[in-house]
A and B are shown apart, each in its own frame.
Chain A
Amino acid sequence: MEEVIAIAIGVLAASGTWLILRPRTFQVVMGLCLLSYGVNLFIFSMGSLFIGKEPVIKAGVPQDLLNYTDPLPQALVLTAIVISFAMTALFLVVLLASRGLTGTDHVDGREPKE
């Protein structure tokens, strides 16, 4: 399972980085999105990966670290998801404003010279 997660994070981060370096604003937005997904998975995996373990204390399960997974990264991921989602929405607004003001979707606000 670790390999699958690692490959997923790697692919997301790599495609995110490539897209961020592209010249069109929409590609940059998509790149930032993918990168933030990769980062969220990364935080999640930092709490060690387990299948079928509870993050919060449950009645009937012995209260030791063997039976639970770390709840903190899950809480952190939740915060990070909310923040990155809001920021992406804000970035989209700026993208549209920039498109409206400059008439181009190039990140520099003008088309490169031929």
Chain B
Amino acid sequence: MNLMPHLIVAPILLPLLTAACMLLLGEKHRPLKARINLVSTLIGLIISVLLLIWTQNQSSPASIGVYLPSNWQVPFGIVLVVDRLSALMLVLTGIIAFCALLFAMARWDRAGASFHALFQIQLMGLYGAFLTADLFNLFVFFEVLLAASYGLMLHGSGKARVSAGLHYISINLLASSLFLIGAALIYGVTGTLNMADLAFKIPLVPEADRGLLHAGAAILAIAFLAKAGMWPLNFWLVPAYSSASAPVAALFAIMTKVGIYTVLRLWTLLFSGQAGASAYFAGDWLIYGGMATIVCAAIAILAAQRLERMASLSILVSAGILLSAVGFAQPNLTAAALFYLVSSTLALSALFLLAELIERSRSSSDVLIEEDAETLPTLIEPPPRGTNLDDEQKVVVGQIIPWAMAFLGLSFIACALLIIGMPPLSGFIGKLSLLNALLNPAGLGNDINAPISTAAWCLLALLILSGLASLIAFSRMGIQRFWTPLERSSPILRRIECVPIVLLLGLCVVLTIKAEPVLRYTQAAADTLNNPERYVMAVMGARPVPSPEAKAAMLEVQP
């Protein structure tokens, strides 16, 4: 029996079942739940990697896996699809979830109820949103991930979080309403919600209905762009992300990428070059909206005083760069953007984790969210029975790492280099390939005299200037946090808190060394996106598994 098609649905079912088990376990057994969660997240990551390897090993150019839940014929049922882009996002989600969870297990998971169950539901929503190929199913998975994110956002409670959470929830409820209006309009015009079927039907939409279709798509896009963090829809993001607890914020680093992923997926599929009169609809909005995001976030980053705020604003800068790059609908630029996406997401997650450790080491007079002191266990506490013992049977909790400051400093420098895009780490390679793609619109060496548009020059300038702004802000922050304080005790770090940061930054180093195969992969993913007919053919060509009776009948006929 071939396991592969069933592997596609596994990333959704696994977290769902895990979360259900945890709810059954109730409020007690936290160490047990933490372990189940960790194992489940790890299995999810392994499944994602298997899917990624599968998309790599396919001989067909598109290598798209299709799964039909409940065995429904294609345009009538929900479809799950994995291609190179989704596989990449799945793996990225798995890695970040694993690292955020490791970090949370040190102490944050004790700060409130049901952390582990919410964490798994969040993962289910994320995996589902990356896998689904149905517009309404996408809405459902968005709601799943948002519902869990509301809980996680408020995890740890406190005034700042509840205030920011209130804004976060109302904005997202509003965006969900817009999502529904957009999806309903598109359904009203085309009569389908299956993405592949939509791509097939949009060129055939009569001229009289095209305005309605475009209105629906634009309303839908507002919902996605609000999540992706495009200016001026992103004012909720900075307070929400910078007040969320560190592991949650690290996980949220991938949430804006969900918005970008859906824009990339739907826009390249529905409004591709083959979409007739709707081809590249509203591409300029993406380009210039992305640029406006970069400008606003880069100016704000110069004024940011807290590390968490800087990290949130860096998310906005990278979202702006990605949206703008996507808007050009240029395969080599999309490939570079995908590489940049991977590198920047890993770095930003690490920065969110690091930010908490660095801010913790500052003097207690300016503790950021004072309520944390009550809800969180103190750092030096008698160890809970039966937990957190390392190899030498010493308690890991509160063990002082002598190199704490060195570790924090070096990790901070690595994060800063990655986010600014300075050599020698992968951020530089990401930005360099973006610049390269902007200067060679036709692909390297293909047509040297191809004209470079004004928009491309603008984005090029903004890429460099936003890097400069981040450089200034990060240098200032580094000087303030690491050099200026004259006397200060070394912060208390736990190993389990350092491991995820080392893992994330280590992956960025691997990404730097293995940049060529990764870029090849993103290039293949971008080529698949640029040829939506492959996706449409793969999905529409999927046949349900015949029932046992039909199989028997076929066998009888054949001899």
A residues adjacent to B (C-beta < 8 A): 20, 25, 28, 32, 35-36, 39, 42-43, 46-47, 72-73, 76, 79-80, 83-84, 86-88, 90-91, 94-95, 97-98, 101-102, 107-109
Inter-subunit contact B184/A109 (CB<8 Å)? no
Inter-subunit contact A109/B159 (CB<8 Å)? yes
- Give CA–CA (A90, B152) in the complex, Å: 13
Instruction: For A72, list chain B residues within 8 Å (CB).
Output: 187, 193
- Evaluate whether A79 and B166 lie within 8 angstroms (CB atoms) in the complex, with A86-B147, A87-B147, A87-B173 already known: no
Inter-subunit contact B162/A39 (CB<8 Å)? no
- Give CA–CA (A25, B173) in the complex, Å: 14
Known interface pairs A35-B177, A39-B180; 4 further A-B residue pairs with C-beta atoms within 8 A, sorted by A's residue number: A36-B177, A76-B184, A87-B147, A109-B162
- Interface footprint category on B: 20 to 34
Inter-subunit contact A39/B169 (CB<8 Å)? no
Q: Which 10 A-B pairs have the closest CB atoms?
A: A46-B188, A109-B163, A43-B184, A46-B184, A98-B162, A39-B177, A101-B159, A39-B180, A83-B143, A32-B173
B residues adjacent to A (C-beta < 8 A): 136, 140, 143, 147, 150, 154, 157-159, 162-163, 165-167, 169-170, 173-174, 176-177, 180-181, 183-185, 187-188, 193
- Give CA–CA (A102, B147) in the complex, Å: 23
Total cross-chain contacts (CB, 8 A): 85
Inter-subunit contact A91/B143 (CB<8 Å)? no
- Give CA–CA (A47, B184) in the complex, Å: 9
**Quick one: closest A residue to B192, CB to CB?**
A72
Inter-subunit contact A90/B150 (CB<8 Å)? yes
**Quick one: closest B residue to A101, CB to CB?**
B159
- Give CA–CA (A13, B277) in the complex, Å: 31
Instruction: For A102, list chain B residues within 8 Å (CB).
Output: 159, 162-163
Inter-subunit contact A20/B170 (CB<8 Å)? yes
Instruction: For B140, list chain A residues within 8 Å (CB).
Output: 79, 83
Inter-subunit contact A94/B165 (CB<8 Å)? yes
Instruction: For A83, list chain B residues within 8 Å (CB).
Output: 140, 143, 176
- Evaluate whether A98 and B163 lie within 8 angstroms (CB atoms) in the complex, with A46-B188, A83-B143 already known: yes
Instruction: For A80, list chain B residues within 8 Å (CB).
Output: 180
**Quick one: closest A residue to B186, CB to CB?**
A46
Inter-subunit contact A42/B181 (CB<8 Å)? yes
- Give CA–CA (A10, B365) in the complex, Å: 53
Inter-subunit contact A94/B150 (CB<8 Å)? yes
